[in-house]
């Protein structure tokens, strides 16, 4: 299933709209000097707009804004710069750093009674905990956002909070509790005329009805979402809706309609260069044509899907290799610096020893020589051990580098599906084993979804099934269980 669409941040907007806002803010920034409060305001806003499109740039801008605010002692503005930094880290999936700066933002917002920044800080914490699978804390923060935004009359934040509360129940598989939150969210957005929020809510409602196998009702809301996104000229919104509509038709057994809609979605994904959505559309079309018995078409779509996946994989692999190579070179340089420093220390020490020997008495000299020999012997052993440790670290890094060049299969954890299933009462399916294996290897749900080209929701679904079959409730227990039975 397509993933339920979350309100990642309260200043979420369509990519085209975000780019227009970035261009406008960049032009406005040129009219102010560093040291003006307005300059700092604009930097923070610019960082917010970049957060989803380019989080690295967002982090740079938000840190620059925070330094400007700190240097000028504009403490009342620091809550906003802290939040911008937290948001950047959130999109970079550095959740510990994001949480730290969110809490700093909340403290400053409470001190200076900055209600909107306080609400946004709480929302950011909810999102971070949601993606760390701490649904209890995430739900608690979203409830606080929902309450405060409703009390203070901020309908946009209220609508997004309702949407996010529904998402928590989606992750828990409690669709009967999920649906009312999306319906309330749609009502709020409709009342204030927020089209993007309304389209998002309609799409999420449709997805729930597909899960509940009420396919006609799902179609009604997909049609409404499609109408909203077409009115906004939002191609990405239209494309997402078409993919969900195609899935709904497939689930309802309406294969011809499912294929036609999926082809439209594929064309839009290619037009916008959205490779991940193109892969999903191809995967969907492979399943549809295979279900229709058109194996030739299914094979053709499968080959295109494989080609698209290889393109994404090779791009990501090259990026990882470059990062690893840079790290290796840095480690190598550091080892050389340490070697030269030790050599210089030895040289200075030898000169000092020679000078001492010349002016010392014979007895004192002998004693010093003995002590020096012992000292340097011990020191030499220590330096040798440190050098060997450094060399081992470098060799390990080299090996890791070479393994990554060789391909991901060699880095897999030694875990055999047949051996594992033999010791379970209910065996894992191949897909469950594949997702589960990546999970116990330490990969996040997002990383697993990207690697297998499935949604985060699907990853969670397979992990829940795997844990249930193994009699555990989380990854830590699953790993401990593997150690016992394999």
Q: What is the DSSP letter of 294?
A: -
More confident residue, 54 or 342: 54
Tens-place pLDDT, residues 437-456: 888 777 888 888 888 888 88
| Long-range contacts of residues 163-169, Cβ cutoff 8 Å, at least 24 apart | 163/6, 163/7, 163/197, 163/200, 163/201, 163/204, 164/6, 164/7, 164/123, 164/126, 164/127, 164/130, 165/139, 166/4, 166/204, 167/4, 167/6, 167/130, 167/204, 168/130, 168/135, 168/138, 168/139, 168/142
User: What is the pLDDT at residue 375?
Assistant: 67
Mark out the alpha helices in 30-154 (DSSP H runs): 37-53, 55-71, 78-91, 95-111, 115-131, 135-151
Evaluate if pTM is beyond 0.85: no
User: What is the pLDDT at residue 410?
Assistant: 36
User: Does residue 171 have a pLDDT over 80?
Assistant: yes
Which of 44-58, 263-277, 281-295, 374-388 is the most confident on average? 281-295
Which of 136-145, 359-368, 398-407, 421-430 is the most confident on average? 136-145
What average pLDDT score do residues 395-411 get?
46
- List all residues 6 or more positions away from 151 whose beta carbon is below 8 Å from its beta carbon: none
Predicted confidence band of residue 320 (pLDDT cuts 50, 70, 90): low
Alpha-carbon span 317 to 405, nearest angstrom: 8
User: Does residue 212 have a pLDDT over 70?
Assistant: yes
List the one residue out of 397, 415, 390 whose CA is nearest residue 338: 390
* In the chain, % of residues over pLDDT 70: 72
Q: Which two tokens stand for residue 155?
A: 């309908």
User: What is the pLDDT at residue 323?
Assistant: 55
More confident residue, 386 or 170: 170
User: Does residue 483 have a pLDDT over 80?
Assistant: no
User: Does residue 15 have a pLDDT over 50?
Assistant: no
Q: Say which range, 47-61, 131-145, 200-214, 220-234, has the weakest mean pLDDT.
A: 47-61
More confident residue, 411 or 235: 235
Predicted confidence band of residue 285 (pLDDT cuts 50, 70, 90): very high
């Amino acid at each position: 299933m397509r993933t339920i669409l979350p309100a990642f941040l309260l200043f979420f907007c369509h990519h085209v709209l975000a780019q227009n806002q970035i261009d406008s803010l960049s032009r406005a920034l040129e009219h102010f000097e560093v040291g003006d409060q307005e300059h700092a305001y604009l930097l923070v806003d610019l960082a917010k707009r970049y957060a989803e499109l380019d989080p690295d740039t967002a982090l740079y801008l938000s840190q620059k804004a925070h330094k400007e605010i700190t240097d000028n002692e504009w403490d009342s503005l620091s809550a906003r710069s802290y939040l911008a930094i937290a948001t950047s880290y959130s999109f970079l999936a550095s959740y510990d750093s994001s949480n730290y700066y969110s809490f700093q933002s909340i403290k400053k917002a409470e001190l200076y009674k900055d209600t909107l920044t306080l609400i946004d800080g709480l929302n950011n914490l909810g999102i971070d905990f949601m993606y760390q699978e701490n649904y209890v804390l995430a739900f608690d923060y979203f409830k606080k956002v929902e309450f405060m935004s409703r009390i203070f009359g901020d309908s946009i934040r209220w609508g997004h909070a309702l949407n996010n509360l529904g998402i928590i129940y989606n992750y828990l598989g409690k669709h009967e509790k999920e649906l009312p939150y999306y319906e309330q969210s749609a009502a709020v957005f409709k009342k204030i005329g927020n089209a993007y929020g309304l389209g998002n809510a309609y799409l999420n409602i449709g997805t729930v009805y597909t899960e509940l196998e009420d396919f006609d009702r799902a179609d009604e809301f997909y049609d409404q979402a499609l109408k909203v996104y077409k009115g906004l000229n939002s191609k990405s919104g239209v494309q997402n809706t078409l993919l969900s509509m195609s899935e709904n038709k497939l689930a309802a057994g309406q294969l011809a309609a499912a294929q036609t809609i999926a082809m439209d979605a594929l064309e839009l994904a290619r037009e916008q260069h959205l490779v991940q959505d193109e892969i999903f559309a191809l995967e969907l079309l492979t399943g549809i044509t295979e279900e229709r018995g058109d194996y030739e078409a299914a094979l053709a779509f499968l080959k295109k899907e494989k080609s698209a996946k290889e393109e994404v994989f090779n791009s990501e692999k090259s990026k990882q290799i470059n990062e690893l190579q840079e790290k290796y070179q840095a480690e190598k340089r550091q080892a050389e610096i340490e070697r030269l420093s030790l050599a210089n220390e030895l040289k200075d020490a030898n000169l000092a020893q020679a000078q001492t020997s010349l002016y010392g008495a014979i007895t004192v000299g002998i004693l010093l020589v003995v002590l020096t020999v012992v000292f340097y012997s011990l020191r030499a052993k220590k330096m040798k051990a440190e050098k060997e440790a450094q060399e081992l670290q470098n060799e390990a890094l080299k090996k890791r580098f070479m393994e990554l060049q060789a391909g991901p299969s060699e880095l897999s954890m030694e875990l055999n599906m047949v051996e594992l299933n033999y010791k379970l009462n209910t065996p894992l399916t191949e897909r469950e084993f594949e997702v589960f294996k990546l999970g116990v290897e330490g990969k996040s749900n997002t990383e697993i979804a990207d690697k297998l080209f499935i949604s985060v929701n699907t990853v969670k679904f397979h992990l829940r099934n795997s844990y249930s079959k193994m009699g555990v409730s989380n990854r830590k227990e699953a790993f401990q269980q593997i150690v016992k039975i394999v």
